[in-house]
């Protein structure tokens, strides 16, 4: 079982092959300090999602190790690992149920006050209150009642409420209007504060605000540094 972590992450010569002989990652060395944010950038197929898949333990490395606070993540239970990692994927997961239950997913013990506080912190409260039944409004899994931007804000509220030490974010590529875009940027700042985060970043604003940028190319780190350095 993984004890409560600070959020120190290290990849040591990590190699991964989905199929034998076709490495998706070819020796990744990466150290991230607690609270730092890393933006992963690179062409399609360069290995961004693979890094996230390994960190969440959807797969285990073919070679090398991944350490969290010095623990090899293969030595801890998947459950204890995932309970301290928040994952916000591109195709934001909304299930059929109320807005409140969607935010509370992963923190079923959260009170209504806590749910609202999380929604307010990411600036989702106002649009929720304009829905027919506010927090009790029922939404559908694939329903179009919510815009992409609204779904993204809901997933941020959900992640904030769960309060994980490590946050993984596969940023949505969908075009969003300027106003929502600004809201999301602000919400992202709130969400990332004090957590170690890995972001597959598509927006320049996100890349700029990351502490560290890692440029992947064919499964290797081509460049890394701050936005100023690159
Ligand atoms: P994108 O920007 O398109 O999301 P990415 O940087 O996230 O790309 P990955 O998904 O990490 O790229 O893919 C890295 C390599 O691994 C690619 O060559 C891809 O074809 C291959 N790959 C990814 N997922 C699988 C899979 N499930 N099975 C086999 N090969 C895969
Ligand atoms: Mg990807």
pLDDT value of residue 5? 94
Q: What predicted TM-score, i.e. pTM, was given to this entire model?
A: 0.90
Q: Which two tokens stand for residue 208?
A: 């700029």
Tell whether the model's pLDDT for residue 89 goes beyond 90: no
Name, in order, each residue with C-beta under 8 angstroms of 38's C-beta and a sequence gap of 6 or more. 30, 32, 197, 198, 199, 210, 211, 212, 213, 214
- Ligand 1 centroid to 54 CA: how many Å? 12
pLDDT value of residue 106? 83
Q: Residue with structure tokens 């904030």?
A: 160
Question: Going by CA atoms, what residue is nearest to atom 12 of ligand 1?
Answer: 45
pLDDT digits (tens, 9 = 90+) for 108-157: 999 999 999 999 999 999 999 999 999 999 998 876 678 888 888 999 99
In contact, 45 and 22? CB cutoff 8 Å: no
- Ligand number with the minimum distance to the CA of 51: 1
- pLDDT-derived band at 203, boundaries 50, 70, 90: confident
Distance, CA of 45 to CA of 219 (rounded, Å): 8
CA separation, residue 16 to residues 19, 20, 74, 215 (Å): 9, 9, 14, 17
The chain-wide mean pLDDT, for the chain, equals 93
Structural domains of the chain sorted by starting position, each given as residue range(s) with its CATH number in brackets: 35-49+77-225 (3.40.50.300)
ipTM, interface predicted TM-score of the complex: 0.98
83: number of Cβ within 10 Å: 15
pLDDT digits (tens, 9 = 90+) for 19-56: 999 999 999 999 999 999 999 999 999 999 999 999 99
Distance, CA of 140 to CA of 30 (rounded, Å): 40
HEC string for the chain: CCCCCCCCEEEEEEEEEEECCEEEEEEEEEEECCCCEEEEEECCCCCHHHHHHHHCCCCCCCEEEEEECCEEHHHCCHHHHHCCEEEECCCCCCCCEEHHHHHHCCCCCCCHHHHHHHHHHCCCHHHHHCCCCHHHCEECCCCCCCCHHHHHHHHHHHHHHHCCCEEEEECCCCCCCHHHHHHHHHHHHHHHCCCEEEEECCCHHHHHHCCEEEEEECCEEEEEECCCCC
pLDDT value of residue 212? 95
pLDDT digits (tens, 9 = 90+) for 161-176: 999 999 999 887 776 7
Pocket test for ligand 1, best of 17, 18, 56 (most atoms within 8 A of CB): 18
Choose between 161 and 184: higher pLDDT.
Answer: 161
- Ligand 2 centroid to 122 CA: how many Å? 25
Question: Going by CA atoms, what residue is nearest to atom 17 of ligand 1?
Answer: 45
Choose between 206 and 32: higher pLDDT.
Answer: 32
């Amino acid at each position: 079982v993984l004890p409560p972590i600070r959020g120190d992450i290290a990849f040591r010569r990590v190699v991964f092959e989905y199929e034998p002989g076709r490495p998706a990652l070819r020796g990744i060395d990466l150290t991230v300090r607690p609270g730092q944010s890393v933006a992963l950038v690179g062409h399609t197929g360069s290995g961004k999602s693979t890094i996230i898949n390994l960190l969440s333990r959807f797969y285990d490395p073919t070679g090398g190790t991944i350490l969290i606070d010095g623990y090899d993540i293969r030595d801890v239970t998947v459950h204890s690992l995932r309970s301290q990692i928040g994952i916000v994927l591109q195709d934001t997961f909304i299930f059929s149920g109320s807005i409140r239950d969607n935010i509370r997913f992963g923190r079923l013990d959260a009170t209504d006050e806590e749910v609202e506080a999380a929604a307010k912190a990411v600036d989702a409260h106002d649009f929720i209150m304009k829905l027919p039944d506010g927090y009790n409004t029922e939404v559908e899994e694939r329903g179009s009642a919510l815009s992409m931007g609204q779904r993204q804000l809901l997933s941020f509220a959900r992640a904030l409420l769960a309060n994980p030490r490590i946050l993984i974010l596969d940023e949505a590529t969908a075009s969003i209007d300027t106003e929502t875009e600004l809201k999301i940027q602000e919400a992202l700042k709130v969400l990332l504060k004090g957590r170690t985060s890995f972001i597959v970043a598509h927006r320049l604003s996100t890349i700029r605000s990351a502490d560290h940028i890692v440029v992947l190319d064919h499964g290797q780190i081509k460049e890394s540094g701050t936005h100023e350095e690159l």
